[in-house]
Amino acid sequence: MPTPAPGAPAPSSGRPATRDELSATLRAAVTALKAPLTAADRAEGWTDELRREFQEQFSLRRSVLVRHGIAVVRPPARFDEWLADEGIRPGRLHALVTATQQALVAAADTP
């Protein structure tokens, strides 16, 4: 498994995330995706448009979480499949998106 980027959420422990944990994970993902792409990111297949699309997805989910609570946050789209469809290779942003998806899945399992 690739090493997460600085500020990236920790891999899921398999237990449901708390509201604060999920909020922190989404905030870290949005912050990381606001930064300009590096040469390594571009070499892995990232474009500015794709970076903004993922940033928007995570930002919207964080807004829903803050306004309505963890029970209302929609289960995630298959971000891993989206990355594969776009031809994104493993790297720091791939690890970030994967870890964030895992946190969203864990949150969806929260009663």
- Tell me what pLDDT residue 64 has: 92
* 102 located within any domain: yes
- Tell me what pLDDT residue 30 has: 97
Rounded distance, CA 19 to CA 85, Å?
Answer: 30
Number of domains in the chain: 1
* 11 located within any domain: no
The CA-atom distances, in angstroms, between 2 and each of 15, 105, 106 are 21, 19, 20
* 35 located within any domain: yes
* 37 located within any domain: yes
pLDDT (tens place) for every residue of the chain, 111 residues total: 334 444 444 444 555 568 888 999 999 999 999 999 999 999 999 999 999 999 999 999 999 999 998 888 876 668 999 999 999 999 999 999 999 999 888 887 766
Residue span of the structural domain in which 35 resides: 19-108
* 64 located within any domain: yes
- Tell me what pLDDT residue 59 has: 95
User: Would you state the torsion angle of the CA atoms of residues 16, 22, 24, 27, taken in this order, to the nearest 10 degrees?
Assistant: 150
- Tell me what pLDDT residue 5 has: 45
* 45 located within any domain: yes
